[in-house]
Amino acid sequence: MKVLSIRRKYLIAFLLFTMLILVTGVSLGISTLHQTKAQAASPAAQQISSDPFTNSTSQHQTQVEPSTASYGSMVVSVFQSGRFAVGGGSSGILWATSFDAGQTWKVGTLPDITVYAGGSYARASNAVVVYDQAHHTWLASVLVAKTFFENSSGSTSVVVSHSTDGLTWSNPALVAASGASDYFDKDWIVCDNHPASPYYGRCYEQWDNANADNLIMMSYSNDGGLTWSQAASPANQSFLGIGGEPVVQPNGHVIVPLYGYDKTTGADGIYSYRSIDGGTTWTNLAEIAPSTYSGTADPFYRGGSLPSAQVDASGKVYVVWAGCYFEADCLANETGNTTDDIVMTTTKDGLTWTPLQRIPLDAVGSDVEHLTAGLAVASNTAGNDARLAVTYYYWGNAGSCSAATCQAYAGMATSINGGTTWSQPLALAGPTTPDWWADTEAGYMTGDYITTAISANRAVALVPVATAPTGTTLHQAMYAASVPVTGGLHVCDKLSSSSVTPNRVTQNVVTPNTSKKDYYGA
């Protein structure tokens, strides 16, 4: 049985795709701030930025891996710009802020992080943004490296930048620095925004140490992200984990869905762990579902099936990811000759999860590959009235395409009844071909994750969009979509509580698809 290596072979193969529509990029100076009234790239997506960096060591123009959050009518996103082809990370992190639910944007660069933006670090990656309601501040978490990321030791740190207005950002505050033999990866941040919670105003930072058997690290801050506690890990951690997205319930409990690999059973899947004491202690993993990602994208894509998690006003936690659970030939012969759907499950306690349901984006057996889901749940809605939106990447000719011929798109669907039924899917942008995107050691990239926000009943998402390169210069820029949350009548398929895949596994017995693992990193 294979285990996750330092370079992190993972069953979640490769995300992404971004989209083409011929528009002119909006120029962005590193030290400048300006209003962007974007040009239309499709009925939904608008270009809001382009790569401002010019260092010869990075791939320009490239922008990837956006994280987007909202508070009221304000939306903030952060993303990588100037991606390195070897060793991971980017030249710097850009921010984009909207005050009208994603319809117009102001854009700038997080200051004093990399050497290309006035800082001391060589590279930056994995930017994630959140709003801390108690301290009235936006927090942008960034993974940074003194040299490079992949297989490095003693080079990585997790830092946090702060802003009270979404426009002016502080120098980064240190959360944790790796020891001489450590390699940090996949940070994520969340804040307790529930006034009735005993830990209201506490923010939680999660990351993993790839050089220590993918040990999960958790730290918290009580002062708006200025100082952070000593990192803690789940007691007697019996799993390897990556890509955790913590969410906080109204009672202060923290639940962390993630991709993991159980060292006892050898099963890889989607798991969760939690804290009920404000992050002082963390439990060991509980299984949500075995992972059945087809690996169709493995030959040339990076990313694909990390979970995305959100919570509604009642404390119900929703998790989505990509898997072939509903497809008749799901991994039947381990060849990756099937496609994946976006699936969802929910929990009230992080221990018991509802049977999987398939979000109805395309028909079962359609040969449409769906990857890299980013979920939003309106924080002031709950239960049967919860408003949801999911953004994802997809291509329609999955069975026969290559990096040069795949027709890749970004899509979105919304629900107004807690995910029982969904709207007709909307194409945000596309088509494009993956070989127009930033290249990495693990395939072409739009990001290992994507997120969605709901603001003023509008679903807001940023997606990287690519047009044809000019010689060796790429044209992968960041686009924004802001669409009404309407819901619809498309009904979810559901699995029985005892069966996870029709032809392969049951809920508690799984043969890991180790042949489909591939590298995830910064």
Residue-wise pLDDT for 118-159, tens only, equals 999 999 999 999 999 999 999 999 999 999 887 788 899 999
DSSP string, 312-323: -TT--EEEEEEE
Assign 382 to helix, strand or coil: coil
Q: Could you read off the pLDDT of 282-294 as tens digits, one per residue?
A: 998 889 999 888 8
Contact yes or no for 208/215 (Cβ under 8 A): yes
Q: pLDDT at residue 5 above 80? A: no
Strand order in the sheet with 184-191: 184-191, 203-209, 215-221
Res 511: pLDDT: 32
**Residue 117 DSSP SS3:** helix
For residue 390, give the nearest of 374, 369, 371, 407 by alpha carbon: 374
Q: Is the pLDDT of residue 27 over 80?
A: no
Q: What confidence category does residue 267 fall into, taking pLDDT thresholds of 50, 70 and 90?
A: confident
pLDDT digits (tens, 9 = 90+) for 332-344: 645 556 899 999 9
How large is the average pLDDT for residues 202-212? 94
- The pLDDT value recorded for residue 35 is 43
pLDDT of residue 264: 87
Mean pLDDT lowest for which of 68-72, 109-113, 142-146, 207-211?
Answer: 207-211
* Cβ-based neighbour number of residue 227 at 10 Å: 12
pLDDT at 92 over 60: yes
Mean pLDDT of 425-429: 94
Question: Residue 6: is its pLDDT beyond 60?
Answer: no
Rounded Cα gap, residues 411 and 374, in angstroms? 10
What is the per-residue pLDDT across 431-466, written as a single tens digit (0 to 9) for each? Answer: 999 999 999 998 999 999 999 999 999 999 999 999
> Is pLDDT at 401 greater than 90 in this prediction?
no
Higher-scoring residue by pLDDT: 510, 479: 479
Residue 187 in this model has a pLDDT that exceeds 50: yes
Q: Which pLDDT does position 336 carry in this prediction?
A: 53
Report, as an integer, the average pLDDT of 56-62: 97
